[in-house]
Structure 1
Amino acid sequence: MSVAGVDRVAVVGTGTIGASWAAHYLAHGLDVTATDPAPGAEDRLRADVAAHWPVLERLGLSERASQDRLSFTADPSDAVADADFVQENGPERENVKHDLYAALDAAARPDVVLASSSSGLLPTAIARGCPHHPERLVIGHPFNPPHLIPLVEVVPGERTSAETVDRAMDFYAAVGKRPIRLRQELPGHVANRLQAALWQEAFSLVERGVASVSDVDIAISQGPGLRWAVLGPFLNLHLSGGHGGIAHMLEHLGPPMEEWWRDLGQVTLTPELVQELAAGVDEELAGTDVAELIARRDVVLDALLAAKDETGLA
Structure 2
Amino acid sequence: MSIRTVGIVGTGVIGASWTGLFLAHGLRVIVADPAPGAEEKLASYLESIWPALETMDSSGVPQADSDSPYSASLSNYQFVGATLGRHYKDVDFLQENAPERTDLKTKLLAEIDAAVRPDVVIASSSSGIPSSKFISQCQHPERVLIGHPFNPPHLMPLVEVVPHSNTSASAISNAMDFYESVGRRPVHIKEEVPGFVANRLQAALCNEAYSLVARGVVTAQDLDACVTTSLGPRWAMVGPFLANAMGGGGGSEGFKHLLEHLGPASRIWVEDMQEHKFDWSQDSIDALGSSVSDELQGKDVQELEQKRDNDLVKFFKIKGVRRTSFHGIAL
TM-score normalised by L of structure 1: 0.95
Give yes or no for the alignment of 1:161 onto 2:168.
yes
Deviation at 1:183, TM superposition (A): 1.1
| C-alpha contact 1:14 1:36 (8 A) present in aligned 2 | yes
Deviation at 1:136, TM superposition (A): 0.8
CA deviation string 1:86-137 (max 9, x = no partner): 111110010010111121111111111110010100111121242x111110
In 2, the alpha carbon distance for the partners of 1:129 and 1:258 equals 46
Match of 1:207 in 2: 214
Give structure 1 regions of 4+ aligned residues with deviation exceeding 3 angstroms.
none
Deviation at 1:174, TM superposition (A): 0.8
Equivalent residue in structure 2 for 1:185, among 189, 192, 198: 192
Match of 1:70 in 2: 77
Deviation at 1:280, TM superposition (A): 2.4
Deviation at 1:176, TM superposition (A): 0.6
CA deviation string 1:15-50 (max 9, x = no partner): 111111100000000001111111000110111111
Match of 1:17 in 2: 14
Identical-residue share of aligned pairs (%): 47
Give yes or no for the alignment of 1:46 onto 2:43.
yes
Does the residue aligned with 2:118 lie in a helix, a strand or coil?
coil
| C-alpha contact 1:10 1:33 (8 A) present in aligned 2 | yes
Give yes or no for the alignment of 1:266 onto 2:263.
no
Does the residue aligned with 1:311 lie in a helix, a strand or coil?
helix
Gaps of 5+ in 2: 58-67, 324-329
Give yes or no for the alignment of 1:119 onto 2:134.
no
In 1, the alpha carbon distance for the partners of 2:296 and 2:89 equals 45
Over the aligned positions, Cα root-mean-square deviation in angstroms equals: 1.4
Give yes or no for the alignment of 1:55 onto 2:62.
no
| C-alpha contact 1:27 1:62 (8 A) present in aligned 2 | no
CA deviation string 1:264-283 (max 9, x = no partner): 13223233333332332222
Deviation at 1:290, TM superposition (A): 1.5
In 2, the alpha carbon distance for the partners of 1:262 and 1:252 equals 17
In 2, the alpha carbon distance for the partners of 1:233 and 1:175 equals 26
In 2, the alpha carbon distance for the partners of 1:192 and 1:271 equals 23
| C-alpha contact 2:146 2:162 (8 A) present in aligned 1 | yes
Match of 2:296 in 1: 285
Give yes or no for the alignment of 1:249 onto 2:246.
no
CA deviation string 1:236-289 (max 9, x = no partner): 111111245211111111111111111113223233333332332222121322
In 2, the alpha carbon distance for the partners of 1:33 and 1:309 equals 30
Match of 2:97 in 1: 89
Does the residue aligned with 1:141 lie in a helix, a strand or coil?
strand
Does the residue aligned with 1:180 lie in a helix, a strand or coil?
strand
Please say which of residues 271-280 and 248-257 is displaced more in the overlay. 271-280
Does the residue aligned with 1:222 lie in a helix, a strand or coil?
helix
Equivalent residue in structure 2 for 1:310, among 308, 312, 321: 321
